[in-house]
Structure 1
């Protein structure tokens, strides 16, 4: 892989940074120690313009090139997951019940590696805005940073991000124009009947049959209300009801997730869930409330920026490890909020065989860190070149 020679020279430093971050995971918006570590490294690189405390523990650092020009944003997420680690690694998490099980320690490291190189060379015009974001896994830190004005405050014109991908060939860079990650919504259905003795159902109003029927009816939204050639997932992931075998319970709960790529599809699902719940309330003689909550929007890559990022990726990883029309994922990503504000591209970086995301045995592959850092560095140099 033709990674940047200078970045290859400090690959061991990157490994040390990543393993330190892995040992010290933080959740959600509480990434203060992680941010402090990042700031220390940035200051060591000679980067002096660092803005901290954004979205509580996020920060944006600016590297200015050798000539005037636009501002390009590069983003890395910093937060971990509430999982007890089971890797057995010598550098395993030192915090019980928390671990980096999605590679955010690696994402932060790759952006730090690019920052070191770009701060040393400054072989570009304009400015690079390094965005270190908390709360990607839960809380929408990307949305909060956007709401707190980082796009306008720093004049960011385009945005890019990388995410590791276990199971894909190590060093492979892949993306696609248009939707690449789904919108994620959630629903909660509360059903209220009237309790009674299990031997006398005629004197009660059982909430459980209504819950079961609503669960089945929700599946028809995909099979009968939606165009089959478009992607949509409706998953009931929770049903709670009852406490003992001889009591008819007076309430039940149904909850789950919806994944889609277009707002009209979200509108349709929300409408149909409301109609189904209203109909079941009448049919079963129960009270039903349905709450539909919209979460992260779909992550949609801009065509021009996707084509450009793919060209840069080919230079870094080679034609054999480049994928420019990958299948879009039903998972979600809050980088979507930045892409709603500015054109850009989200890519995946293969890290070879290993446990999947959000698995207690997951670990980031340090060998691919120089690839990701090189991609970020070349992206800046090609996007904002100095005049010859």
Structure 2
């Protein structure tokens, strides 16, 4: 069993060696070894790809509690000058997943002294950045062995005071998905466009129609947002009247039912535009994130744990517009809470090329997870 583990050194070493979604094999191998060194009773590997789960049994029966961190980094060039900056070209931990993994490593050290009851699962999931990881892990048949009663995750949040927390019962992050539309007609010579079927009018109608689907502000239950992110008509040449167009739209909603309605409405727009201009339309879906909803019971546990850990509450508009796939661990009776933990008001934003997880946040993150564990798995009063 590991007697000592320098958490700051671990975080910086993870930062040096980032792996993007789906390619986290080396990181997963290291985490699995760490969990074994910390005396985990079981270590599951290859969950939903490269996912790793360390299981620690309490001394008596009780609830199963899952704490989640993410393995993956981003395909972005890091511009920071820290000695521990990325050594992998074009890839970097610019969202703080290196720090989140370190939180769970600190909790693993603490679990050398087993809880009075229950079971703890330290889940290191793959592919969070693409929205595929949580769904792949929970679809793995072995997940049934570790399916929790409670699930918790921390995401660092630049702009909030260092070590402060933000959460509420209800939606924390939005559902989102990428809609890739292909409109197919028929090419023609540019001198005889009437002999082809151009998707130009269908495309130019769809762009404002998609944007018009947006509704309300993020705090509204029916909030929805359609953002056009890419459009292409034909090829960049002068001799061909186009026969194909592509349109990318990101759909976003505060709740999954609102997302379902938005998907239906967007699909109808595509179908109508294609039919009206003699097009064949195809829709492909990418980067699908469900909404993350905190349950009242789990939220109350976090609030009490934060008080125990001496962490203050920060003001923040919730839910936040960006998506996070931790919501995939919820449902079916699982009490779940996502927690935003302030990374400092002067910290560069997430996904910025100069972002670096603040090492000063390691202590508060481990303390908060430890306090949650205390509240759930100590002997009942």
Offset, 1:246: 4.8
Partner of 1:337: 328
User: Greater shift after overlay, 324-333 or 26-35?
Assistant: 324-333
With over 3 angstroms needed to count, the CA separation of the structure-2 counterparts of 1:324 and 1:187, relative to structure 1, is same
User: How do 1:266-345 residues align onto structure 2 when only pairs under 5 Å count?
Assistant: 266-292=259-285, 295-318=288-311, 321-323=312-314, 326-341=317-332, 342-345=334-337
- Please show how residues 63-142 of structure 1 align to structure 2 within 5 Å: 63-119=56-112, 121-138=113-130, 140-142=132-134
**Structure 2 residue aligned with 1:6:** none
Task: Specify whether residues 177 and 202 from structure 1 end up closer, same or farther in structure 2 by C-alpha distance, changes over 3 A only.
Answer: same
| In 2: Cα distance, 1:313 partner to 1:199 partner | 70
Aligned-pair distance for 1:213? Answer: 1.0
More displaced 10-residue stretch of structure 1: 164-173 or 309-318: 309-318
* Aligned CA distance change for structure 1 residues 52 and 189 (closer, same or farther; 3 Å): closer
Does the C-alpha gap of structure 1 residues 189 and 32 become closer, same or farther in structure 2, counting only changes over 3 Å? closer
Shift of residue 155, structure 1, vs aligned partner: 5.0
CA distances 1:78-113 after superposition (whole Å, capped 9, x unpaired) = 111111211121111111111111110000001111
The 1:278/1:88 distance shift into structure 2, 3 A limit, reads same
Aligned equivalents of 1:221, 1:307: Cα separation in 2: 35
TM-score by length of 2: 0.90
Structure 1 partner of 2:20: 27
- Between the two proteins, the alignment pairs up a number of residues equal to 374
Counterpart for residue 56 of structure 1: 49
SS in 1 for 2:182: strand
CA distance in 1, matches of 2:330, 2:241: 49
Unaligned stretches of 5+ residues in structure 1 = 1-9
2:340 equivalent to 1:348: yes
Note the C-alpha offset of 1:180. 0.7
* Greater shift in the superposed pair: 140-149 or 99-108: 140-149
Per the alignment, residue 173 of structure 2 pairs with 181
Alpha-carbon contact 1:50-1:60 (below 8 Å) kept: yes
Contact 1:124 1:381 in 2 (8 A): no
RMSD between aligned residues:
2.5
Higher mean displacement: 268-277 or 294-303 = 268-277
Partner of residue 368 from structure 1, selected from 358, 361, 372 = 361
Q: Which residue is equivalent to 1:251? A: 244
Query: Alpha-carbon deviations, 1:313-332, whole Å to 9, x = none?
Result: 122243xx214874111211
Work out whether 1:205 is the aligned partner of 2:166: no
For 1:149 and 1:87, locate their aligned partners in 2 and report how far apart those are by CA, in whole Å: 41
Q: From the superposition, tell whether residues 287 and 43 of structure 1 become closer, same or farther in structure 2 (CA, over 3 Å).
A: closer
Structure 2 portions without partners, runs of 5+:
none
Map 1:41-52 to 2 at 5 A.
41-52=34-45
Task: Kindly indicate which of the two structures has a greater share of residues assigned to helix.
Answer: 1
